[in-house]
A and B are shown apart, each in its own frame.
Chain A
Amino acid sequence: MIRILELIGEYFLFLKMVFSRPEKWSIFLKKLIDEMKAMGVDSLLIIAIVSATMGSVITIQTALQIENSWVPAWTVGFTVRTSVVMELCPTIISLLLVGNLGSRITSEIGSMRVTEQIDALEVMGINPASYLVMPKIIASLIVNPLLIIISIAFALSGGYLTVWLTGVVTSYDFVDGLTSFFRIYDLYYALTKTFIFAFVISSCSSFYGYRIDGGALELGKASTNSIVVASFIILMLNLIITQIML
């Protein structure tokens, strides 16, 4: 228990170091754009594949569950949209990003620590935590919500494609369901969750990479720990945010 409290204390001290004024704004902006490019491009393909297949599967499963004459056919589209927007994309895709973005961040920062590159930055009079981590956190806060919007688009398109190919319900009914009873608050709820999860993914994985003390073996352990801890925090926060916002 004391160890956990120590770890939480270290995490907040780390965040204090991260959110200090950058040495040079021009270099910070350049790094921020580089990070946004890397995060977006690296994750786009996997997100597109996972989202589209997820949308397809949910469509088929929902259609099979409500194969009943007194349930209107548009319910399939409505259920798919609600599940995808409110839960599946923000949470499942964020968990996917923990493995994809998070492990990349931990490995990148961790290997810099192991090879003394972080020490080199410090000797040059640069705050390494701020220089390396702040652009990653800000970039993920911008990129992850965009990725989730793209993910929602792919999931709904996957559902539509499935309906069109299999005919479980008519395309007209599916689209009717997608557009029925839409509340902008649902999207606001999804993006709020994504924004908070993005902060957890980037800060947690950076923290585990930054505090590595040892060699390559530690790097592997840190990567695993950051994924486990970030996933656990995301699941817990999902519960809390859902309770608060809905």
Chain B
Amino acid sequence: MIEMKQISKFFGDREVLRSVDTSFEQGKVNLVIGRSGSGKTVLMKSLVGLITPEQGQILYSGHNFLTMSAKETQALRAEMGMVFQGSALFDSSTIQENIMFPLDMQTNQSHEEKVERVNFCLKRVDLYNCNNLYPSELSGGMRKRAAIARAIACNPKYLFCDEPNSGLDPKTSIIIDELIYEITHEFNMTTVVNTHDLNSVITIGETISYIYEGSLAWRGNKDEVLISENQQLNEFIYAQPLTQKIKDLI
């Protein structure tokens, strides 16, 4: 479980996170939703240590990430996997080398064991016969799946996905959502997903934190999100004509 307590972050005079209090549960897909520029990415980058908040605590199983020593931070990061918005696969390496990279750096497995693990991860994300291809040779959806395979290569306890559906067509988005949901339950990971994809919200959102202008404006789950009376959340959820029609039907 990950808990954020009173997290605040400033860029110059601008407060991009305002005393955010939320938690992400183990074995569940925890969504962070909000409009573009609301602070979701800053929140996720704070969670993984790419940004240091000025105030507050980030507790991983009760241990404050922000006060850990370099060695403790490195040990915790070995338990993290992250899928970036643009996949962030290494351009000059093949898909197999990309997925093998965290295994090379964090384990002492033999080459054969690593290849076996790579093949397992690729199979798990339904990517076949692409071990020797380069990221530029894959489609957007395949790149996302390869990035997920790399993120789960070292059996992480925590999986972070920053807008995994961005730039994908609706059908591929559903496949990625299903994949994230399945692997979260299969490996009992604490998964945090940044999204503004409404389909993700209503299908995989086991816990949902809604961020509005840097503050936590609402917390609930996929069953509660459509019937919430929070005005800011409703403005976000029912912003599109299609969702407005669904609301009228409800």
Contact of A24 (CB < 8 Å), options: B45, B85, B105: B105
- Which of A122, A124, A126 counts the most B-chain CB atoms under 10 A from its CB? A124
Beta-carbon contact of B84 and A120 below 8 Å: yes
Bound-state Cα–Cα, A111 to B78, Å: 25
A123 close to B106 (CB less than 8 A): no
> Are A24 and B104 closer than 8 Å at their CB atoms?
yes
When the two chains form their complex, are residues B106 and A124 in contact, meaning their CB atoms are under 8 A apart?
yes
Interface size class of B (residues with CB under 8 A): 20 to 34
Q: In the assembly, what is the distance between CA of A120 and CA of B162, in Å?
A: 12
Q: A23-B105, A27-B104 are in contact. Are A123 and B86 (CB under 8 A)?
A: no
Residues of A within 8 A of B90 (CB): 112, 117
**Within the complex, what minimum Cβ distance (angstroms) separates A210 from chain B?**
14
A125 — nearest CB in chain B belongs to which residue?
B77
- Inter-chain CA distance A35–B80, complex, in Å, is 29
Instruction: Check A27–B105 contact: CB distance below 8 A.
Output: yes
B50 contact set on A, CB distance < 8 A: 119, 122-123
B48 CB contacts on chain A under 8 angstroms: 123
- Assess whether B95 is interfacial by the CB under 8 Å rule: no
A116 contact from B74, B77, B88, Cβ within 8 A: B88
Is A180 in contact with chain B by the CB < 8 A criterion? Answer: no
B-contacting residues, A45-62, CB 8 Å = none
Q: Which residue of A lies closest to B162 (CB)?
A: A116
Interface residues of A in 27-81 (CB under 8 A from B): 27
Interface size class of A (residues with CB under 8 A): 10 to 19
Name which residue of chain A comes closest to B82, CB basis.
A123
In the bound complex, CA of A24 to CA of B74 (Å): 14
CB-CB under 8 A from B101, the residues of chain A are: 124
| A228 CB to nearest chain B CB (Å) | 27
Complex contacts, A116 vs chain B, CB 8 Å: 84-86, 88
* Least Cβ–Cβ distance between B18 and chain A, in angstroms: 24
- CA–CA, A115 to B160, complex, Å? 17
Query: Considering the chains assembled together, what is the distance between the CA atoms of A27 and B100 in angstroms?
Result: 12
Contacts of B104 in A (CB 8 A): 24, 27
Report how far A40 CA is from B50 CA in the complex, Å: 35
A80 to B91, CA, bound (A): 45
* Residues on the B chain within 8 Å of A124, using CB: 77-78, 80, 101-102, 105-106
Are the C-beta atoms of B105 and A120 separated by less than 8 Å?
Answer: no
Q: List 24 A-B contacts (CB under 8 A).
A: A24-B104, A24-B105, A27-B104, A112-B90, A115-B86, A115-B88, A116-B84, A116-B85, A116-B86, A117-B88, A117-B89, A117-B90, A120-B82, A120-B84, A120-B88, A122-B49, A124-B77, A124-B78, A124-B101, A125-B74, A125-B77, A125-B78, A125-B80, A125-B105
19 new A-B contacts at CB < 8 Å, known A124-B101, A125-B106? A23-B105, A24-B105, A111-B91, A112-B90, A115-B86, A115-B88, A116-B86, A116-B88, A117-B90, A119-B45, A120-B84, A122-B49, A123-B50, A124-B78, A125-B73, A125-B77, A125-B78, A125-B80, A125-B105
